[in-house]
A = this chain, B = another copy of it.
Amino acid sequence: MSDKQLKKGIGELFTSPNADDMRAFLKDKSKQMKNKLSSVSEAIDQFVKDGDYLAIGGFGGVRIPTALIHEIIRKEIKNLGFAGHVSTHDCQLLSAGKSFNRCDAAYIVGLEARGLSKNSRRMFESGNVKVTEWTNGALSWRFKAAAMGLPYLPSRTMLGTDTFKRSAAIEVECPFTQQKMAALPALYPDVAMIHVHRADVHGNCQIDGILVADDDIAKASKRVIITTEKIISNEEIRREPSKTVIPYWCVDAVIEMPYGSYPGNMPGEYFSDEEHLADWLKAEKDEMQLEEFIGHHILSSKDFYEYLEKNGGMNKMRKLMQAEHLY
């Protein structure tokens, strides 16, 4: 070992990176390939509780499990932790529900080119949320470490910055080259919520287009709730084994939820509803107005279908499908 000074981030580690703890959990978890069909309400009751650490699939406004996040708000689940791994509309929703008190942040409070979420910022500027800083790459690799059954992965990112300082990474030396690396602790969430294109009732899932980190998130998480545009047969899954992104043993509940990523984009299916997302940003300017907006769209909707109806129903969905296919 050379005499290089090795640094440590001072950020809080919200989850244990101990691979043996997860191994012990998975040893006892049933891997039976049974029927896991559920409903949004049942799945949230059964698998998400106050204080859990969440990982949300997709990319903020692309292939997100909106119905499940709405249910968390409706059921007033609080004190969650979550991975802000490009968390845009999902971060906005969790902020609207005041659902969390800690966050591993790589990308939060913004909606990419659409602008910043005033209400998410209020949440993060309040001093009531504990934040540990990371990068998109770092959170991807933290999930990957967990998916690989490792307590950490080395990387060459974050070095020399305040992002590192406010992270919980630790500098290590490569034992072969003595290069300085940032060791990233494995991230094992309590619950993952992922929206997919197709799944069978056992939880074997197919995703079209980019995966973001969802293959790794599913393996890294103790419990996994899947919403899917469509349920398909196990025979159809077995027709193309290379297309299975998430295998059944990772999954605890499967819910058929067409348009489940609305108002987000679902690649190959429907484009994002930019008007509604703009309305969200507008409503956030004023806290009273936001309360009313959430009351109307989420709290007073008995389920996600009602939310879809309030936003134009089948006719709107048809338009978003047309927008996806560029005509």
Contact = CB atoms under 8 A, between A and B. Distances in A.
Interface of A: 13, 17-20, 149-156, 170, 172, 174-177, 179, 181, 183, 185, 208-209, 241-243
Contacts of A174: 17, 151-152, 183
A154 B208 CA distance: 31
Contacts of A150: 154-156, 181
Given A20-B179, A152-B154, A152-B175, 10 more contacts: A13-B176, A17-B177, A19-B177, A150-B156, A151-B176, A170-B176, A172-B175, A175-B183, A176-B183, A176-B185
Contacts of A176: 13, 17-18, 151-152, 170, 183, 185
Q: Name the residue among A13, A177, A208, A241 with the largest chain B CB count within 10 angstroms.
A: A177
A244 to B, nearest CB: 12
A208 B239 CA distance: 12
Contacts of A19: 156, 177, 179
13 contacts: A17-B174, A17-B176, A17-B177, A19-B156, A19-B177, A20-B177, A150-B181, A151-B154, A152-B174, A152-B175, A154-B154, A208-B242, A242-B243
Report copies per complex: 2
A272 to B, nearest CB: 20
A17 B183 CA distance: 18
A150 B154 CA distance: 8
A87 B88 CA distance: 47
A209 B244 CA distance: 11
Cβ-closest 4 pairs across A and B = A170-B175, A151-B174, A151-B177, A17-B176
Contacts of A151: 154, 174, 176-177, 179, 181
A51 to B, nearest CB: 22
A149 B154 contact: no
Contacts of A13: 176
A110 to B, nearest CB: 27
Contacts of A172: 172, 175
A151 to B, nearest CB: 4
B242 A177 contact: no
A33 B170 CA distance: 39
Contacts of A177: 17-20, 151
